[in-house]
Amino acid sequence: MSAGVQASFVIGWMLMLAGGVVFWVMSRSLPAAEKRHGVAAMSIVFIAFANYFAMALGQGHVNFNGETVFFARYTDWVLTTPILLVSLAMMATRELARIRTLLFSLVVADVYMIVTGLVGNLSSSPHNYYWWIISMVAFIAVLGMIWGPLRTEAARGPDRAGFDKLAKMLTILWLIYPLVWLIGTSGFGWLSYGVESWFYLILDVTAKVGFGYVALTAARKLKTT
Ligand code: RET
């Protein structure tokens, strides 16, 4: 593992841990009904912390078919992306139970997206591209559910503007992941492991710590009814 890659992992676990402390402090001033937003935000960064820590220790990768595959990225994403979706859904409605079928579909499509992405990363050309396409189809389904039925739900929910802001942020950030994957070491190989790992670090910090911060700020302003 190069020094640049290693440094990105060390900075990764530190920033995730720092995010956890910030979220813990922010959660204390949340109204009781919105504490769940704090639970989500903290779960996400502590899961990421563990995975970055493992990668920093050299425990998060395998050498497979002559390539290095950082599987810890996927064990992070497979847990944190469903929680991020739940977090967005909690901004759409107070009664998650009412949208359980939608939530279930979102999470299944999302997990499918991450797992097929991992299979692609473990595959050589051209099979990796087949898996990228399959994963992208699931991703498009996720985006369709967010901007279709979930947004309709949010229009009746407690904070329509907050939902739209978070949904936009999520969409833009999440779209960059498959691009980095495609041009990075798992696809075309235009990026080195070092450059790729910094891209993923910036994305992970923004999509987890940045997103959580915006979500908790919005949750704090929600009226307790
Ligand atoms: C992969 C594989 C290629 C195709 C697609 C992908 C999508 C990944 C996404 C990841 C999001 C991660 C987040 C993590 C941190 O919080 C797996 C790269 C579509 C959308 C938000």
**Average predicted confidence (pLDDT) for the chain:** 96
Predicted ipTM > 0.95: yes
Average pLDDT score over residue span 102-123: 98
**What pLDDT was estimated at residue 66?**
87
pLDDT digits (tens, 9 = 90+) for 126-144: 999 999 999 999 999 999 9
pLDDT above 70: residue 225: no
Give 158 or 113, the one with higher predicted confidence.
113
Nearest CA to ligand 1 atom 11: 174
**What pLDDT was estimated at residue 78?**
98
Report the distance separating Cα 225 and Cα 222, nearest Å. Answer: 9
Tell me, using a 6 A CB cutoff, whether residue 80 lines ligand 1: yes
pLDDT above 90: residue 222: no
DSSP symbols for 16-41: HHHHHHHHHHHHHTS-GGGHHHHHHH
Pair 210, 174: CB distance under 8 Å: no
pLDDT above 90: residue 40: yes
Beta strands, E only, the chain: 62-64, 67-69
Beta bridge partners of 67: 64
Average pLDDT score over residue span 67-72: 96
Give 120 or 2, the one with higher predicted confidence.
120
State which of 42, 77, 78, 205 you would mutate to test the pocket of ligand 1, scoring each by most atoms of that ligand within 8 A of its C-beta.
Answer: 77
Tell me, using a 6 A CB cutoff, whether residue 34 lines ligand 1: no
Average pLDDT score over residue span 33-57: 97
* Alpha carbon of 139 to ligand 1 centroid (Å): 8
Helices 3-28 and 35-56: crossing angle in degrees, nearest 10, is 160
**What pLDDT was estimated at residue 223?**
66
pLDDT above 80: residue 212: yes
**What pLDDT was estimated at residue 153?**
96
Nearest CA to ligand 1 atom 20: 174
pLDDT digits (tens, 9 = 90+) for 133-180: 999 999 999 999 999 999 999 999 889 999 999 999 999 999 999 999
pTM metric for this prediction: 0.96
Report the distance separating Cα 50 and Cα 75, nearest Å. Answer: 10
Nearest CA to ligand 1 atom 18: 178
